[in-house]
Structure 1
Amino acid sequence: MGARAVSPGGALLRTSRMFSVPKPLPEPPSTSLHIGDHKSATMTRQYPQHQSITTPLSSREKGDWGYKRPFPLKSTMTTSTPLIRVKKVDSVENVTDFASAADHSLSLEKFQELHVAMSVPRGKMSGEARSASLWPKSVFEEELDPTESQSGRSDGKRWKFRGPWLARMGEGEFVRYLKKTVHPKRAQFRALLKRKLAEDITTSQNNLAMEKGTPAPPKAEPRDITEAHFSEYLRTLRNDRTTLYGLVSEFLDLAPLAVPIGLLQSIHPPLESKSLYGNSGPPPSHPSAGISYLRTNSFMENHPVYGPQARRTPALARVVYPRAGHKPAKLGVGGFVADVPLGDNEFNIRFGLGRTQANKMLNGIAHLDTTTYGGAKAYIEPKTATVDPSGKVVLQLRETHPEAQVIAKESKGQSHIYHDAETKAKQATQLQGDKSPDRRIERITNEILNDDS
């Protein structure tokens, strides 16, 4: 059977960029429920809400970006980053509302140049799992990338849920969720509890019959449960909050929460390990956020002169915020703000230990450096990155090796450590030849002849 014919107008709309652009993402949620976020109208959002659009130079010279009206050349031809985001195709004034999308596009390009593998947030483990949790685990591992609930597998490693994360919801949003989602499902949840009670009764009767050596009684059905028995079961279930919370979370498919205070003693020891997203909440998208698809940092760089390198090429970071009290200093790496590396190094002050001297402290850490052009900078090595519930990319840095810093500076022409004996001897011979009297007379003659001509 042939394909369905499409009208010329429908074919035009299908190939139009205006109809291929996805819907914008919602505003990033606030992670603070008590203190309002200090936002600016010009600040860069945690993640892009609109698709970044570009066009070839030949089309850009005509103002053609794939939409129904041309864009002004004055604002699209005078930029070195021809990337825009369309906020609204048609506004009240019959104009297309667009802005530059270079911030997120360049941040993505810079982040991919760091070659950082995305990892899941570290949860508090108990026993032998604690030592294994010290190493970052990739978000693409099969055991850490489930999206649906599966039998025999804990939901503590899931990142996608149909229900919300209650700790992130405001009071008004929570009340609306109760009215629109929870209240209409009361009858379904009571039916679920009756099935659960019938299963418990059947299991108890089978165990008792096995102990007495008698045949198993018939299976209990939910319709055989009386209202008095069910009310007593509800009263007992309300006192067992751990079981009740588990049933409610499974029924509504809620994102896991941290263990409530007072329930730690009633939880079985194997369940002491918290969910990966119990404290911070699940991410709004895949834990990788689509910005990196590396599974591990276990790869070796090969320098064209010095061969395989033990450490990766460091990145140059800028000190954007000095240390204030107990708050660590902030570094800007590839357009992302991160905390300084942990440990006793040039980024941290260890009072009373005497191991970090004041003259070894990096400029800009203890106070704002206003003398250095462009601000204080230092080389660091990105270790891994995670995505928090609000969509922010959280980088983890570590101190780099001095040899890696020297090699990185040499690649930028800021230092010179490699000397080829043959090249050096040839350069010395040429330098001596240039200083000989005959060579100098020849150069003077050539200069005079060129001037006269």
Structure 2
Amino acid sequence: MGGRAVSPGGALLRTSRMFSIPKPLPEPPSTNLHIGDHKSATMTRPYPQHQSITSPLASREKGDWGLKRPFPLKSTMATSTPFIRVKQLDTVENVTNFASAADHSLSLEKFQELRVAMSVPHNTDKKADSSSRTELWHKSVFEEDMDVTDFKAGLGDDRRWKFQGPWLARMTEGKFIDYLDKKVRPKRAQFRALLKGKLADDITTSQNRAAIEAGKEAPAKIEAKDISEEQFTDYLRSLRNDRVTLYALVSKFLDLAPLGQPVGIIQTFWSNRDSLASDSPYGKSGPPPSHPSAGISYLRTSSFMENHPVYGPQGKRTPALARVVYPKAGPVPPKLGVGGFVADAPPGDNEFNFRTMTRARISSNKTMLNGIMHLDTTTFGGAKAYVEATTANVDPSGKVVLQLRETSAEAQVVARESKGLTEIYHDGKTKSYTPTTPKTTGQQSPRTTSQQATRISDETRWNRVADEILDEPSRS
């Protein structure tokens, strides 16, 4: 027996965005950047996969959430965070499978309270000069030369964040082999035809330049069909030895995500116009899976001044109270929890991290925060400290990378006074201690080692892609 017929109006409502729930996003994959990720059924995912739904109190008291059946009051009213995510509208038991969505909803509210502007990652491969921005300046993801998705956008083509091809360093070995078989090898003939056309243009340009220097008439234009097999074979051999030019051609042909400077190639080789993503901010870190803002902040800059109702304009923004969630372990910096996000402690000589060379000089007037060197089990709720969030960006796995810096003592006192914890000019001494001098080792920072391994793996995969696409096309 056939299904019940639906009227045209009913079918339109069912497929409309007003009455439909978007499909959930796929499960976040574990990448080589986060090999140590441990998945569980109850862990908070790096990004929300389902739409968060809420309902006003008058409707919530009746179990009305705008869906086809009412929800039980016992599980939806006994909470101060009325946010749910619908996993399945209809199950085999004719019920709606839903769960709380307070984790990501509250994290979004807390992040927006920080008033942080999203920025593009810094390209540490390029040395700062008078024409490029320094580490003190964070460029917004909404700038016209950065917020580009068009492949034919001219200068913005190297700085765009969306690509048709994958980021090779993020792919697993199985997916990479599958990409070579299904996407790269079938395009060999097309790529070789493109190379013949480029070789013909190069020969024509060279002949025209020689004719102009000799004062002769320019010869006829060389076509791709005029290229002999010997000329083309020699050209392929030169390309295999010139990896910089080959990377640029393969990248534009397959529209691959940008590649950072390969290991062992001199910086001056990357100064030509056709260098591979020389100005791309995602050359080392990789492109984000969505818009670089991730939809969590639409501020273009964090350069604004707060005005206190009593003390007037403030030199520092209102700091946020951070919790020490992971103490310092060797070269690994301590981790702080700020507004539902985990970030590295502010760098430099401060209460979070003392440098061995300057510790003797500053130990007289600075002390290290509790919980930094060892887990603090005596302080109620864990060790806490005020920090200032400067900027944030999204990494290739969809996680928000928050950057912090040390705030001033005056801003901390003003923040505590607003909560009734202290009074201005009458703040007592805080509980702190001075740790012993840590032992220094020759161990290399694991972050540097991970980045270098990622770049080496990325370059190896680029070589394999280039070799595959340069081979003879299959006769079958």
* Fold shared, TM-score > 0.5 on shorter chain: yes
Output the TM-score relative to the length of structure 1: 0.85
| In 2: Cα distance, 1:331 partner to 1:190 partner | 52
Determine what percentage of the aligned residue pairs are the same residue.
Answer: 70
In the aligned structure 2, how far is the partner of 1:16 from the partner of 1:64?
19
What SS is found at the alignment partner of 2:52?
coil
| Structure 1 CA distance for aligned equivalents of residues 11 and 170 of structure 2 | 43
Q: Does 1:311 align with 2:313?
A: no
TM-superposed CA distance for 1:90, in Å, is 2.7
Structure 1: tracts of 5 or more residues without a match: 1-5, 420-453
Cα deviation for residue 31 of structure 1 reads: 2.8
In structure 1, C-alpha distance between the alignment counterparts of 2:36 and 2:380, rounded to whole Å: 34
Comparing 43-52 and 180-189, the one that deviates more = 180-189
**Amino acid paired to 1:290:** G
Look up the equivalent residue of 2:296 and give its one-letter code.
I
Instruction: State the match for 1:3 in structure 2.
Output: none
The alignment status of 1:411 with 2:418, answered yes or no, reads yes
1:357 pairs, out of 353, 363, 382, with: 363
Q: 1:42 to 1:195 in 2, by over 3 A?
A: same
Which one of 297, 307, 311 corresponds to residue 302 of structure 1? 307
* Structure 2 unmatched ranges of 5 or more: 1-6, 427-476
Change (3 A) 1:127 1:372: closer
User: TM-score if structure 2 supplies the norm length?
Assistant: 0.81
Q: RMSD of aligned C-alpha atoms?
A: 2.4
Deviates more, 1:54-63 or 1:253-262: 54-63
Q: Which runs of 4+ in 1 moved over 6 A?
A: none
Aligned pairs for 1:384-395 (under 5 A) are 384-395=391-402
User: How far apart, CA to CA, are the structure 1 residues paired with 2:65 and 2:34?
Assistant: 43
Q: 1:80, CA displacement in angstroms? A: 1.2
What is the rounded CA distance, in whole Å, between the counterparts of 1:36 and 1:318 in structure 2? 22
Q: Say if 1:16 and 1:67, in contact at 8 Å, map to a contact too.
A: no
Matches within 5 A, 1:412-431: 412-417=419-424
Contact 1:33 1:170 in 2 (8 A): no
Counterpart amino acid of residue 386 in structure 2: Y
Which residue pairs with 2:58 in the alignment?
Answer: 58
1:370 and 2:371 correspond: no
Larger Rg: 1
Matched to 2:303, the amino acid is S
**Cα distance in structure 2, aligned partners of 1:43 and 1:186:** 44
Is the Cα contact below 8 Å between 1:147 and 1:159 reproduced in 2? yes
Please state how far the C-alpha of 1:265 moved relative to its aligned partner: 5.8
**Mapped contact 1:384–1:396 kept (Cα < 8 A):** yes
Alpha-carbon offset, residue 250 of structure 1? 0.4
Cα separation, partners in 2 of 1:265 and 1:290, compared to 1, 3 Å: closer
For residues 9-88 of structure 1, the aligned pairs below 5 Å read 9-14=10-15, 19=20, 21-32=21-32, 35-88=35-88
Q: Which amino acid aligns with 1:143?
A: D
SS of aligned partner of 1:267? helix
In structure 2, the CA distance between the partners of 1:130 and 1:14, relative to structure 1 (3 Å rule), is closer
Which of residues 398, 403, 422 in structure 2 aligns to 1:396? 403
- The one-letter code of the counterpart of 1:8 is G
Amino acid in the other structure paired with 1:43: M
Moved more, 276-285 or 152-161: 152-161
Q: Equivalents in 2 of 1:146, 1:379: separation in Å?
A: 36
CA distance in 1, matches of 2:53, 2:182: 38
CA contact (8 A) 2:349 2:355 kept: yes
- What amino acid does structure 2 have at the position aligned with 1:412? K
Indicate if the aligned counterparts of 1:300 and 1:310 stay in contact, CA closer than 8 A. yes
The equivalent residue for 2:8 is: 7
Residue of structure 2 in register with 1:261 after alignment: 263
Alignment of 1:159-178 (within 5 A): 159-178=161-180
Mean alpha-carbon deviation: is it higher for 30-39 or for 339-348? 30-39
The count of residues paired between Structure 1 and Structure 2 equals 413
